[in-house]
Amino acid sequence: MSTITNKATLAAGCFWGVEAYFKLVKGVISTKVGYTGGTKENPTYKEVCTGKTGHAEAIEVTFDPNVVSFERLLHHFWKMHDPTSLNKQGGDVGTQYRSAIFFHDEEQKVAALRSKEELHKQIVTQIVPAATFWDAEEYHQDYLTKNPGGYCHVDLSKATN
C-alpha cells in the first residue's frame, strides 16, 4: 500500500533553518532546499545571492496529508518566521529571503489566503502560484545536519506538532 503525498513550497528566509524545522514536523516525509519564483533557469546559489534572479530561497516539503494537513504546515510556517518583515529574516537581508507561499493548487491557495487573514497582522508574505523549483547545490541539502552549529535564524524548539 503506497502513501499518498502532497507537496508544499515555502520561503521563510535562509532555507537551512526552514528545512531543519520542517524535518521535525510529524507527517513530513522529505524536504529539499532550492530556488523558486525567479526568472533565470537553473540558478546557482551565488547568482541567487545577488538578488538579480528574482528567486527566493525556498523549501519543498513532501508530506503525508493523512498525518499532517497543509493547514497545519501553514500553522508552522507562520510561527517559525516573521511574516511582517519585508525581505529580511534574522541577519539575512534581500529579496531572496522573502516570505512566500507558493501554492500548488486552488485548495492550497484558499487555505493560504484564509490563514493569512486569520493572523490579523500586517503580513508581507507573498501567496503566488508555484513555479519551477530548482534544487540547490548538494552542500545546501540538509545543511544543518551536516554542519551542527551552523547559522540558523529559526527557533527549532517551536517545531512541536
Catalytic residues: 14
Helical axes 106-118 vs 70-80, angle rounded to 10°: 40
Cell of 116: 493569512
Q: Are 80 and 159 in contact (CB under 8 A)?
A: yes
Give the whole-angstrom CA distance, residue 102 versus residue 37: 8
